[in-house]
Structure 1
Amino acid sequence: MPVQDQTARRLAAVMALLVAVCGLAVAASPATAAPRPLAAPGENGDDGEGGSKSLIEQLEDASSGYVKAKASLKKSKQQQTDLTAELKRLDAALGPQQDALDEIAQQAYTSGRMGTLSALVTANSTDSFLDRVETLATVAAQQNAAIADLKTTRSDQQRAKIAIDTAVRDQQKQVNVMAKRKTQAETALKKANQGADAGQSGDGGGSASADPAPSNAGNGCSEDDPTSGGCITPRTLHALKQAKSDGFTRYVHCFREQNSGEHPKGRACDFAADKSGFGGDATGASKTYGNNLANYFINNAEKLDVLYVIWFRRIWLPSSGWKSYSGAGGDPSSDHTNHVHLSVN
């Protein structure tokens, strides 16, 4: 066979293979494609969370301090409520105890508070003497017990009052800390030319109630991250599972290597708004999904130990609500218009 014919046949086979491959590529549906990853950290002029390293560290520190102070304030208020109820109980017990002591004193006075010698002199018989001595002993024991009860109640009452005063002072301290942390977060945003007030418009849904994180859940990166090959904290894993169990099942990616923020600490997750993963700006049903998810985390912020939520050029802080927040790159990833970012304490 001439060399030219062999070459032509081989070329025709290669072209047919290319056509087949191209046909397969065209037939692939975007809806079933693997979710697209976020832009690499630093690729858009920030560190993967829409802001500079210093801004992210300030927001993390401010929100963490605010959340802890708020939890301490809540605990202190509950302590004050319990102490007030105990004080009320003690106040109610004090009157009857004083009445009982007065009655015993009257009984002792009526019996003449005779001693054993007096009882012996006036007794008509041995049995009479023993009865009188027994009566005196009983009255004395009752009086001593009543006095002891009264002293204990008054002492407990005083301790409860002191504890209530301490709780009130602690509450004021926590309120001051919360105000300081709020100022810290808002000042950091302002310095970064961010943080104008942003309303709640468009944020409906997300009304499901999450289970609170276990009280012993730590914040160390100790759990395998089911969304990557890295690790996440027990609280992050809890928040992730809660969101999925409440219907937010689209693509999620948590652990990520970067220079700052919560992702490398296993304390943050990015939840894609679109079914196909991280793409362009979310619209229509995808934006509604993101709105509902952001609102879900906000409504359950205390239960899930939320530090902040970023979604669609806004950041929600426990101290301040929604504030404007845009990434340096101006793209869907740094502006968070294609995914909801969650950071937990």
Structure 2
Amino acid sequence: MTWGGSVAATTLRRLYAALALLVTACALLLAAPGSAAYADPKGESGGKKLEDALESAAKGQADAIQKLNASKKRQSDLQKLVAQSQAGAKALETQVGVIANRSYRLGRSNTAAMLLDSSSPDIFLERVERLDMMAQVDGSTLKKYEDDLSAARQAKADIDREVAEQQKQVTALGKKKKEAELALASVGGGSAGSGFLDANSPLAKAAPRNSDGSWPKEGCTINDPTTTGCITPRLLNAYQNAKAAGFSHYVACFRHQDSGEHPKGRACDFSAHASGFVNEAATGADKDYGNRLAAYFIKNSDRLGVLYVIWYRQIWMPGTGWKAYSATGDAAAVHTNHVHLSVI
């Protein structure tokens, strides 16, 4: 009986010890970055209305900037074409003048007389061949001269159209800037921000673009490496570049919600705290980490297709730069514990 009781007591102690280890393991798992406890910085947004307004304004800015830059490039190419065509026509002016003078001096009657005055059939054929060759050379020269002038005229007309297109995009950009300012002002923000910039930030690998410089449309087709959801190829590129640049703190991308880019696979939240998403403002080394990460995304915004970045009560958009972001709430809501990245 004593032996049996001793065995039972030992077994019971082992069960308690195993249970304690299990509880400890569960607690560590829940506290570990990447767990469900840290995968969703709840209360992140400033509300659906603000999120939708900022998304629309940022997309409008990005689109206007892309079209404006494309138009400027086309205008630059057209200006080169004008210069080349005018130079080509200028080089042919002397030859065209010679042709005109010769045509004036010879005329049709003189040409016929020259042929009829041939002293032999051989001389007649030789003169016919010379005249034919001259006509071919003259025709080719005049055609090239006319083509160069025509190309210059067309390019100049196209330049005028590009100037009008640029003015259109500048107007569109101004409108979207105003929309962004009004949206931010509705929550007490919108003033100029000090920003987070670092000229020493490394360069990221550029995401693929269309041949005209625009961004291809992408769906949520890639398995999200940070959650069980999906993300776009462009967001994956941004995520991988940030990791390669040394930003190794915990990240959460896809998230189910009723607004914003997270449920579309176009946004990630990058924890500032080394231990994961902690609902308190980052300080010291953690805040410096967030500053450097935000600056990294801004320096590479054109390479990564950045739509906007939010960090430490400031928001960056492609057409406005850093502005105050004054949503109310906890550290997640005002983005003082994580850097939010949205891509086009």
Residue 274 in 1 paired to residue 273 in 2?
yes
Aligned residue type for 1:317: M
SS of residue matched to 2:273: coil
* Secondary structure of the structure 2 residue equivalent to 1:309: strand
**In structure 2, C-alpha distance between the alignment counterparts of 1:206 and 1:184, rounded to whole Å:** 32
- Answering whether residue 63 of structure 2 is matched by residue 68 of structure 1, we say yes
AA of the residue aligned to 1:72: K
What is the CA deviation profile of residues 225-274 of structure 1, one whole-angstrom value per residue up to 9, with x for unaligned ones? 11111111111111111111222122111000001000001000001112
Alignment of structure 1 residues 322-333 onto 2, 5 Å: 322-329=322-329, 331-333=330-332
SS at match of 1:79: helix
Does residue 292 of structure 2 align to residue 292 of structure 1?
Answer: yes
What secondary structure is seen at the aligned counterpart in 2 of 1:322? strand
Residue identity in the other structure for 1:195:
G
For 2:200 and 2:340, the matched residues in 1 are separated by 15
Q: Give the drift of 1:10.
A: 5.1
1:13 and 1:205 mapped to 2: Cα distance? 63
Aligned length: 333
Q: Which segment drifts farther, 87-96 or 137-146?
A: 137-146
Q: 1:180 and 1:292, CA in 2 relative to 1: closer, same or farther beyond 3 A?
A: same
| Cα distance, 1:52 vs structure 2 | 1.0
Deviates more, 1:164-173 or 1:331-340: 331-340
After superposition, give the CA deviation of every residue in 1:271-318 in whole Å (9 maximum; x if it has no partner): 111221111321221111110000000111111111111111211122
Judge conservation of contact 1:105–1:143 (CA < 8 Å) in 2. no
Other structure's SS at 2:339 match: strand
What's the CA shift for 1:194? 2.3
Corresponding residue for residue 184 of structure 1: 179
Residue matched to 2:301: 301
**What runs of 5+ residues in structure 1 fail to find an aligned partner?**
none
Q: What does residue range 95-110 of structure 1 map to in structure 2 within 5 Å? A: 95-108=90-103
CA distance in 2, matches of 1:20, 1:240: 39
CA-CA distance at 1:197 after TM superposition? 2.3
Superposed CA RMSD in Å reads: 3.0
Paired residue for 2:217?
218
Cα gap change, 1:123 to 1:105, in 2 (>3 Å): same
Matches within 5 A, 1:148-297: 148-200=143-195, 203-204=197-198, 207-216=201-210, 217-279=216-278, 280-297=280-297
Aligned residue for 2:209, secondary structure, equals coil
Matched residue SS, 2:72: helix
Distance 2:178 2:97 in 1: 59
SS in 2 for 1:241: helix
Shift of 1:130: 1.4
Q: What is residue 136 of structure 1 aligned with on the other side? A: 131
Shift of 1:196: 2.7
Q: Is the 8 A contact 1:38 1:333 kept in 2?
A: no
State the identity %. 42
Question: Structure 1 60/206 Cα, relative in aligned 2: closer, same or farther at 3 Å?
Answer: farther
Q: Is the 8 A contact 1:94 1:154 kept in 2?
A: yes
2:53 is aligned, of 51, 58, 61, to: 58
Task: After TM superposition, give the deviation of residue 34 of structure 1 in Å.
Answer: 3.5
- Measured at CA, do residues 235 and 293 of structure 1 come closer, stay the same or move farther in structure 2, by a change above 3 Å? same
Aligned pairs for 1:306-317 within 5 A: 306-317=306-317
Alignment gaps of 5+ in structure 2 = 211-215
User: What secondary structure does 1:88 align onto?
Assistant: helix
- Deviations along 1:92-132, whole A, 9 cap, x unmatched? 11112221121233345566656674234311222211111
C-alpha contact 2:33 2:277 (8 A) present in aligned 1:
no
